[in-house]
Structure 1
Amino acid sequence: MAEPLNHKQLVEQAFNQCSQGTGSPFDLLAADAQWTIMGPTESAKTYNLPDFQEMVVKPFNQRLATPLKPRVHDTYQAGNEVIILFEAEATLINGERYQNSYAWFFTMLQGQVTNVRAVLDLNAYDAVMALDVNDD
């Protein structure tokens, strides 16, 4: 029987799949996961998973013309925490390019992410969220 993947490997695999368009790190989130965006703007707060998907992921993705492509620099594991340092970019619906640097701190339990602390350039994120979206 094969050894189970460790949490660092699970996260690296999820990011590899995301960069290939076949998966997402969000697939690792537990149903009761908490996601905290850290920083100095109104976007910085803690969300439960349904609110995070509805208030962050869905509206952000609506403003992208191309999928967000991550490029992982490093992944670290300390106990049950996995830290991912990466950059990501996409083309926005207005034709401009979005680029941001991220550090995600995943608290893992039995192969699932139960808590996230996300550090990113909130000014760049907030500028994307300020774009008008045509709801047809």
Structure 2
Amino acid sequence: MATDTQTRNKEIVAQFCTTFSTGDVDAILDYFAADALWHITGSIATSGDYDMVAFREFVTGVGQIAEGGAITFTYVDSIAEGDRVAAEITSTAVFVNGRTYSNEYSWHVEIRDGKIWRLREYQDTAHTVAVLAP
């Protein structure tokens, strides 16, 4: 049986997906602790660690290449234990290069004081490279 904390943390992740889909950078960053870190796994150009300064630049850049100014993230499901949430997420967007971005993710999220403190993202990096290639 899920605790109130686990339920709340799962709701934070689900609500974050909805907010990210708006492209509102300030609202997106409001979900994060000041010392948060987003890590994208893999060895492609977008892989690595993003503190909130770098993440602001990253999200702003995504808004410039996605028609409508954002990638739409859809929360599928999650499990939670303590302050950790493992979530299945999908995304879709049409980029200005005319290609459709449609990816699947596993997000491992750590919540502290109601804010995302760590997010580790696993995705289909081959798809990302194919869609973003010149």
* TM-score, with length taken from structure 2: 0.77
Q: Does 1:74 align with 2:77?
A: yes
Q: Distance in 1 between matches of 2:18 and 2:80?
A: 17
* Secondary structure class of the residue paired with 1:6: helix
Q: Distance in 1 between matches of 2:71 and 2:80?
A: 24
Kindly provide the CA deviation profile for residues 73-110 of structure 1, in whole angstroms up to 9, marking residues without a partner as x. 21111111112211110111122211111111111011
Structure 1 residue identity aligned to 2:49: T
Kindly provide the CA deviation profile for residues 29-49 of structure 1, in whole angstroms up to 9, marking residues without a partner as x. 111101111113243211211
Q: Distance in 2 between matches of 1:35 and 1:98?
A: 20
Q: Distance in 2 between matches of 1:83 and 1:46?
A: 19
* Secondary structure class of the residue paired with 2:13: helix
* Secondary structure class of the residue paired with 2:56: helix
Distance 1:126 1:49, change over 3 A: farther
How large is the Cα RMSD of the aligned pairs? Answer: 2.6
Question: Equivalent residue for 1:57?
Answer: 59
Q: Which of 5, 9, 12 lines up with 1:10 in the alignment? A: 12
Q: Which of 25, 32, 39 lines up with 1:29 in the alignment? A: 32
Question: Equivalent residue for 1:121?
Answer: 124
Q: Distance in 2 between matches of 1:28 and 1:47?
A: 15
Matches within 5 A, 1:32-47: 32-47=35-50
Higher helix share: 2
Question: Equivalent residue for 2:95?
Answer: 92
| Equivalent residues, number | 127
Whose Rg is larger?
Answer: 1
Contact 2:36/2:116 (<8 A) preserved: yes
Q: Distance in 2 between matches of 1:43 and 1:16?
A: 22
Gaps of 5+ in 1: 132-136
Q: Distance in 1 between matches of 2:111 and 2:47?
A: 22
Gaps of 5+ in 2: none
